[in-house]
Amino acid sequence: MQKIKLDKRTITFVVTSIFLMVELFFLLPLSFKKIGYLNKQIKKVKEQLKIVEEDWPRKDEYLGKKKQLEIETAKLKTKFIGPNQESKLLTFMSSASKDFEVRIEDFLPKRLIQRASTEFGNFKYLPISLTAKSKFHNLAMFLDYLQNGPYFFDIKKIKIVSRYPHHSVGMLICGIIQQE
């Protein structure tokens, strides 16, 4: 077996060759992956920057709309009936019926029904069975007033029987109650 002469030049060449091989096969592919990842990130940032550049001039408009939506949301939150305030809803319906000349013959609130749980609270239906007599036009105005009034209502069933000049109506109206 022949002895290998290890002089300084040979050792330097071997070490440099090993270092270059490691860099070529391990470090260079990792660098390319990193470059690809950074290019994707740059593309995302450019898209976001483009959106911001387009929307920035309308910033004041967006802030105005945000305030308007906050006001509308606050108004809508007041349309929910609070817990243990069912009588307030019933009183409202009774007095509104008198204003529109709707004569209530039967007015029966039923048990609360669990409706929905959201981040804004738990909501329940208060079903109210109502039978009344009225002229058709007055009845339509009464229902419109309930729908657009100070509380949320959901009319589940309605049955109108025509008996001139007054019509009989049977309906199931649900008030929406916000539980805490």
For the chain, the average pLDDT equals 86
Higher pLDDT, 100 or 3: 100
DSSP string, 54-93: HHGGGHHHHHHHHHHHHHHHHHHHTTSBPTT-HHHHHHHH
pLDDT digits (tens, 9 = 90+) for 29-65: 888 889 999 999 999 999 999 988 888 888 888 888 9
**Cα dihedral value 58, 61, 66, 68, nearest 10:** -170
Residue 52 is predicted with a pLDDT of 86
CB 173 within 8 A of CB 154: yes
Q: How far is CA 177 from the centre of its chain?
A: 19
According to DSSP, the residues that pair with 176 across neighbouring strands are 125
- State residue 141's pLDDT score: 92
Mean pLDDT of 101-129: 84
Residue 91 has pLDDT above 90, yes or no: no
Q: What CA–CA distance (Å, rounded) separates 167 from 159?
A: 10
| Dihedral over alpha carbons 35, 40, 41, 46 (to 10 degrees) | 120
pLDDT per position as a tens digit, 131-170: 999 988 998 899 899 888 888 888 889 998 887 777 888 9
d(CA 87, CA 81): 10
Residue 85 burial class via C-beta count within 10 angstroms: exposed 0-12, middle 13-18, buried 19 and up: middle
Which percentage of the chain shows pLDDT scores above 70? 97
pLDDT of residue 44: 95
Beta strands in 85-166 (DSSP E): 103-109, 113-118, 121-134, 153-161
